[in-house]
Structure 1
Amino acid sequence: MNVRKLLFEIHKILGLVTGAVVFVVAITGCFWAFKEEIEGLSDDYQKVVPQQQAMITPSQAKEIAQGVFPQNSIHGTIYKKAGDALEVVFYDKTPEFYQSVFLNPYSGEIIRVENRLEGFFAFILKGHLRLWLPREIGEQVVAASVLLFLLIIVSGVWLWIPKKSNGLKQRLKFDWKATTRWKRKNFDLHTVVGIYVWIFAFTLAFTGSLISYNWLKYVVYKSTGGEKEAKFIIPENVGKPTDSTTVAYDRLIDQLQRESPEAKAYEIHYPASKDESVYVEVSNSEGLFYDTDFRFFDQHTLKELETTGIYGKYEQAKFPDKILRMNYDIHIGAIGGLPGKIIAFLSSLVIASLPVTGALLWFGRKFKRKGSKTYPTIVEA
């Protein structure tokens, strides 16, 4: 068996094994690309009338929201502009719990409680990440299938290259006539469409694999010259507890608003222990995550601390750090704004068609009728 035939067998077998998974992940990815825009059409409840008075403090917001879910953990509180509600986010991994409590930032009144694990996009995300299976099973199946999809893409590009140069033109366009049969059309849909979308498919699959596998993230980071730890690290406090009855981090939001007045949001995360520092995410762009500033403060003295991980202030990030920080924004197309999301949407839609046309190619050759015309495979052409 020569190399081309071997690649064809690998391409075919892996395609049949992972096809259903790739189809689901790609289709759900289409919807997720425009999540922010679609949800923005019905978020009027997150708006309030601005008032000439101070907003409630993070500790007050925590106390009010904790009364709604006293047994669950608060992930953080998000402060935005004067006309935006506060969002207190609850999250527990086991058992899975993810809800938001929206508060009037001036009175502390509870505006709305929203279950983030229910609704259309929660359904889409569960399918995208784990095929609606239990987390410990579904996430492994999706991660392995997407990693194998990278091999399918590479082998497909290799197989697409025709043996003879005069066959190149045929591989780049549809040349259908009234007499062209469905098998030929299906073959062209798989090969012609596939070659035009392969670079986007590889990008989406590779960035998805980086999200799934820490070892791959480590390899990419170190191979590009990364010097820090390729993960999120919260430094410990350096100061000693005081006898003050006030909570030091209540002063942080005012401080951050003065230092970064153009920021879109400030998310304060409450320390999980007496040794852990307070960290705040300062969002500098609407709909983007890579340029967020992650800042850490001693919970007793508010002295700013440095982290040994890659998630710190964006202006201090080096090239290898930025690669990993941009990964999610690249994955959903947000890195390119609305045009980028459109490309991600269309690419995902086309990617979803490839397992279908590939399966039809296999089915058409394996179960062809006697006397029917046989079309060349990618290997033969």
Structure 2
Amino acid sequence: MGKKKTKNTTRKLIRKIHLYLGLATGLVVFIVSITGCLWVFQEEINALTTEVPQVTPQSKEQLDPLEAKEIAQNVFPGKHVHGTLYEGGTSPIQVIFYEEEPEFYSSVFLHPWSGEVLHTEDHLSGFFHFILDGHMHLWLPEVIGSEIVAWSTVIFFLMMVSGIILWWPKNKKVRDQRTWFRWKSNTKWKRKNYDLHQIIGFYASFIAVFFILTGLVMTFDAFRAGFYKSIGGKKDVEFLVPMNNSGVLTAAKGEEPIRELMPLLKQKFPDAEDYEIHYPYDENYSIYVEVGNSEGVYYDSDYRFFDQNDLSEVSTTSIYGVYEEAGVSDMILRMNYDIHVGAIGGLPGKILAFFISLFCASLPVTGFLLWYGRTYKKTEKVKPRRVLAYQR
């Protein structure tokens, strides 16, 4: 009898924790989930709605990275060039500008052979930037919004765990009733709402927990490092650009070896989807190149570093290096973003991520309606009793 009473007391405590955490973070969870749901297919939608013109391929060499940078900087003078993306085929060269403070993020699209400016794009405007800003910062100043999202994600993880505990019934008969909807024509909406919260929450939680954990990996540096070490990782989890092996760049202007980098990349990685060249921080650092090996995912990209003086490869101590040299723990962490958006499973994975995010967005709504219905129950008005004269 004592054990049963203790168990019931524990469940009541868990139910209260689940309720209060849900009321405190419900709106945040709804916004993060619904924006995540919309973000899943942003690459596919952008590809269909893009205004970037295509070009006719030519047999001669394309603009080298420094030529592309110089032309693009005439469009945004004084702005920092983050890198240049070569996709090949009929795609133009994309020169990417980025500055953190004040934030500036735009691209200039160039004709690969003539250098003509074909298009410019502001990445800090438009529908999907609005969606991403809501997902990461709730449309608040970043320093405030990011913290609210981060800790609400932690709380949502705890709610998923407590929700499974509350869902788990005492016997198999009740368990069978909670695994699927058994609505009848006379089932009231309160019962339907209860089933939606219980059943959808139960099934979604086992998959949603992976999306939550990947979100925590991206949000908390300490969590990312701790998770990586817990699965056997021994490298640096931060992205590191190593310095030149040969020291300071000595080439004269106009003769910089980076001008010959694209032919070298095409020779070494002929099957690559694209090459994104990032300009060195200064004369001491190596040239960082991201070689895309697969369309739609990032985990198997090669992160290569080349000495500015002789284009010899420079090694890194980070997990972001040569993909073939990555260990299991390295690959798991590198897959984090692709898992988070469902891209790791291709189109079926993205569809799954879409619906799980949608289901997660429904949980604060159905949970709030449950609480509201129980707290503010409608009471029938009691008619005043009529008292006859002789009864006085």
- Please give the TM-score of this superposition, normalised by the length of structure 1: 0.95
After TM superposition, list the pairs within 5 Å mapping 1:321-360 onto structure 2.
321-360=330-369
Q: CA deviation at 1:258?
A: 1.0
Q: CA deviation at 1:25?
A: 0.8
Taking the aligned partners of 2:209 and 2:271, their CA distance within structure 1 comes to 36
1:49 correspondence with 2:56: yes
Aligned residues: 372
What does the per-residue CA deviation read over 1:113-164, in whole Å, with 9 as the maximum and x for residues that have no partner? 1000001111111011101111111111111111111000000011100122
Taking the aligned partners of 2:310 and 2:175, their CA distance within structure 1 comes to 68
> Partner of 2:52: helix, strand, or coil?
helix
| Counterpart AA for 1:242 | T
Flag the 1:261–1:243 CA change in 2: closer, same or farther, 3 A: closer
Q: CA deviation at 1:65?
A: 0.7
Taking the aligned partners of 1:74 and 1:182, their CA distance within structure 2 comes to 57
1:261 correspondence with 2:274: no
Aligned sequence identity (%): 50
> Partner of 1:51: helix, strand, or coil?
coil
Q: Which moved more, 1:210-219 or 1:237-246?
A: 237-246
> Partner of 2:14: helix, strand, or coil?
helix
Match of 1:203 among 201, 210, 219: 210
1:280 correspondence with 2:280: no
Q: CA deviation at 1:208?
A: 0.8
Taking the aligned partners of 1:357 and 1:182, their CA distance within structure 2 comes to 11
1:105 correspondence with 2:105: no
Q: CA deviation at 1:243?
A: 4.0
Two-structure CA RMSD over aligned residues (Å): 1.3
Q: CA deviation at 1:7?
A: 1.1
After TM superposition, list the pairs within 5 Å mapping 1:235-254 onto structure 2.
235-240=242-247, 241-245=249-253, 246-254=255-263
**Runs ≥4 residues deviating over 4 A:** none
Taking the aligned partners of 1:278 and 1:356, their CA distance within structure 2 comes to 49
- Please give the TM-score of this superposition, normalised by the length of structure 2: 0.93
2:387 is matched with none
Taking the aligned partners of 1:54 and 1:370, their CA distance within structure 2 comes to 80
> Partner of 2:178: helix, strand, or coil?
helix
Q: CA deviation at 1:46?
A: 4.3
Q: Which moved more, 1:115-124 or 1:175-184?
A: 175-184
Structure 2, unaligned runs of 5 or more: 1-5, 382-392
Taking the aligned partners of 2:89 and 2:365, their CA distance within structure 1 comes to 50
What does the per-residue CA deviation read over 1:171-209, in whole Å, with 9 as the maximum and x for residues that have no partner? 101111122111111100000111111112111111111
1:306 correspondence with 2:312: no
What does the per-residue CA deviation read over 1:66-99, in whole Å, with 9 as the maximum and x for residues that have no partner? 1111221111000011321000011111111100
| Counterpart AA for 2:364 | P
Flag the 1:321–1:46 CA change in 2: closer, same or farther, 3 A: farther
1:161 is matched with 168
Taking the aligned partners of 1:143 and 1:243, their CA distance within structure 2 comes to 46
Taking the aligned partners of 2:272 and 2:67, their CA distance within structure 1 comes to 23
Q: CA deviation at 1:44?
A: 5.5
Residues 51 and 82 in structure 1, CA contact (< 8 A), matched pair in contact too: no
Structure 1, unaligned runs of 5 or more: 373-381
Match of 2:44 among 15, 29, 37: 37
